[in-house]
Amino acid sequence: MPENKEAVRLRGISKTFGHVAANTNVNLSIRHGEILSLLGENGSGKTTLMNMLAGIYYPDEGEILIDDVPVQIKSPKDAFDNGIGMVHQHFKLIDVFTAAENIVLGENADRMKIDRKAVAAKIREICDKYGFDIDPDKKVYDMNVSQKQTLEIVKILYRGANILILDEPTAVLTPQESEKLFRVIRNMRDAGKAIVIITHKLQEVLSVSDRVAILRKGECVASIDTVNANEKILTEMMMGRKVDLNIERPEPVNPTKRLEIKNLTVRDREGNLALKDISFVANSGEILGIAGISGCGQKELLESVAGLAAVESGSIEYLPSDAVTPTELVGKNPKQIRELGVVLSFVPEDRLGMGLVGSMGMSENMMLKSYENGKTIFTEQKAPRELAGSIKDELEVQTPDIQTPVSRLSGGNVQKVLVGREIAAAPQVLMTAYAVRGLDINTSFTIYRLINEQKKKGVAVIFVGEDLDVLLALSDRILVLCEGRITGILDARTCTKEQVGLLMTGGTGVESNGAEQSK
């Protein structure tokens, strides 16, 4: 492979936050006409490193060379002046503006002076060149996630970026959308752009990139050509040791009906229909995976079972293992559900904003659902402290003390605290939303193990996931939601990723195979 011209060289870059070294002496080159994957576990410093290129942070040490010339990047504007553009994980678009308005935003302070025709022409030119599909007059609030991402990329190309950084671009996309994205990325590479993709998904690295740079604990430990890499090699480089990447899937033991949802219709906070007449069953000793693009209603589904959403119609019936008569959960809040003796554990998507109290320590967080225990007006101190201590030991939570505010812990440790508490309640139903989002491989596998343990104990597990590979490997059945409707319930042991992906976007080409529920 011919060596391409170097676009960026990072030399001895270091950055610390407080006492935490996010990057230590990183040396890295990014070349024109090449797709570089920046691979590393969460907290390995990938995003921090790229944020220094994008002008969000300023390095403590080291220098940055663009086209062999040393530069100082103090602000995003400096980055743009140097031809660097970054698409962040959270899009930075203005909802009420059109695509074109978002693109020229910041170019010219005066919105009235924009030559709309010229802008539209230039956008069209960019789209034709690389194969983007975008409507310049569409408002951002009418766009789906994939379209917003496309808009972000076109925006930075419009501003003349030659070096594009994409932070976890596929985290929000369906497999089909990801493929579409990879196609345009390859087109951009062929046009000579330098492209960096920040990711922790191995399959993606292997399929799209030309070269991989691996970060571990803030240091760049290796950089190899993708042709010489495979999943095993990359994982070992990322982790610094050998790991087993197989997710266990025990056979369900004696599954019985635990939760029956019938004709459930739910509105979200804005009053839009989030779930439309859905019916399914969750069995004990079984993991029911839920797949769907973001906003398809999976959040409302879990919240309505947990007693947190306004159910418009339908029923949610709970059947304890030893009773015949079901308990109706609709119309009850979490406290009333608890008082019925139903132990429902719920690991919500928003860990610090819903599942935990950030400013409180582990110990105080343990009592979030049990603070009313005891007859006096005072809260119990001893039991939560002991529980916090045992979770800290068993799940190896890294925290200075069980009184340290949990918001100061890293994402993986926060999730261990939350999952630990929910499992400690000895649930009959366990619901998790994006349980491993943002977690490193090690912690993710800890979480899978904990979930499987619950399954073996006969708990009915509902697992909302975004990584289809994980969903297919862990679940027994997969329920696919699209725009608030169930588009299929598949047997996870036999279905394919493509089938699920198609159902996620509402495709009707595939009939749900096998495990369709009777109403």
Partner 1 sequence: MRAMAQSKANKEPLVHVVRKEDTTTLKKWMLRVIAVAAALLVTGAFVFAVTGINPFNIYGAMVTGTFGTPRRIRNTIKTLTPLLCLGVGLAPAFKMKFWNIGAQGQMLVGALAASFVALTFRNLPGGVLIPLMGLGAILAGALWAVLPAIFKAFWNTNETLFTLMMNYIATFWVMYSVDVWKGESSGFASFKQIAKNAVMPVIAKENFYICTGIVLIVAALMYIYMKRTKHGYELAVVGESEKTARYAGINVKKVTIRTMVLSGAICGLCGFLTVSGIDFTLSHTMNNGFGFTAIVVAWLAKFNPFTMIGTSFMMVFFQNAASEISSMNANATEYLSNVISGIILFFLIGVEFFINYRLVFRKNGKEGK
Residues that bind partner 1 (CB under 8 A): 17-20, 58, 60, 66, 69-74, 78, 81-83, 306-308, 333-338, 346, 348, 350, 353-360, 364, 367-369, 371-372, 377-379, 381, 408
DSSP category for residue 401: -
CB 114 within 8 A of CB 134: no
C-beta closer to partner 1: residue 123 or 302: 302
Beta bridge partners of 38: 198, 213
What is the closest distance, in whole angstroms, from the C-beta atom of residue 373 to partner 1 in the complex? 9
CB atoms within 10 A of CB 486: 24
Query: What's the CA gap between 216 and 50, in Å, rounded?
Result: 15
Burial of 160 (0-12, 13-18, 19+ CB in 10 A): exposed
What is the closest distance, in whole angstroms, from the C-beta atom of residue 413 to partner 1 in the complex? 15
The set of residues, in sequence order, having a beta carbon less than 8 Å from that of 378 and lying 6+ positions away, is none
* Direct distance between the N- and C-terminal alpha carbons of the chain, in angstroms, rounded to an integer: 58
C-beta closer to partner 1: residue 2 or 400: 400
C-beta closer to partner 1: residue 311 or 490: 311
Dig out the tokens for 84 from the structure. Answer: 């660097």
Dig out the tokens for 115 from the structure. Answer: 């030559």
Name the E strands within 387-495.
429-433, 460-464, 477-482, 485-491
C-beta closer to partner 1: residue 414 or 474: 414
What is the closest distance, in whole angstroms, from the C-beta atom of residue 59 to partner 1 in the complex? 10
C-beta closer to partner 1: residue 381 or 513: 381
C-beta closer to partner 1: residue 143 or 464: 464
C-beta closer to partner 1: residue 315 or 379: 379
Query: What's the CA gap between 202 and 334, in Å, rounded?
Result: 39
What is the closest distance, in whole angstroms, from the C-beta atom of residue 26 to partner 1 in the complex? 18
Burial of 33 (0-12, 13-18, 19+ CB in 10 A): middle
CB 305 within 8 A of CB 430: no
What is the closest distance, in whole angstroms, from the C-beta atom of residue 267 to partner 1 in the complex? 16
C-beta closer to partner 1: residue 199 or 365: 365
What is the closest distance, in whole angstroms, from the C-beta atom of residue 195 to partner 1 in the complex? 20
What is the closest distance, in whole angstroms, from the C-beta atom of residue 479 to partner 1 in the complex? 23
CB 304 within 8 A of CB 332: no
What is the closest distance, in whole angstroms, from the C-beta atom of residue 342 to partner 1 in the complex? 12
C-beta closer to partner 1: residue 61 or 498: 61
C-beta closer to partner 1: residue 58 or 141: 58
Dig out the tokens for 380 from the structure. Answer: 């119990």
Query: What's the CA gap between 149 and 170, in Å, rounded?
Result: 10
What is the closest distance, in whole angstroms, from the C-beta atom of residue 346 to partner 1 in the complex? 7
Q: What angle do CA 351, 316, 496 make, to 5 degrees?
A: 65
What is the closest distance, in whole angstroms, from the C-beta atom of residue 357 to partner 1 in the complex? 5
Q: What crossing angle do the helices spanning 411-424 and 441-456 adopt, rounded to 10°?
A: 10
What is the closest distance, in whole angstroms, from the C-beta atom of residue 234 to partner 1 in the complex? 32
HEC string for 85-148? EEECCCCCCCCCCEHHHHHHCCCCCCHHHCCHHHHHHHHHHHHHHHCCCCCCCCEHHHCCHHHH
Report the candidate in 203, 223, 262, 286 with the shortest Cα–Cα distance to residue 467: 203
C-beta closer to partner 1: residue 200 or 351: 351
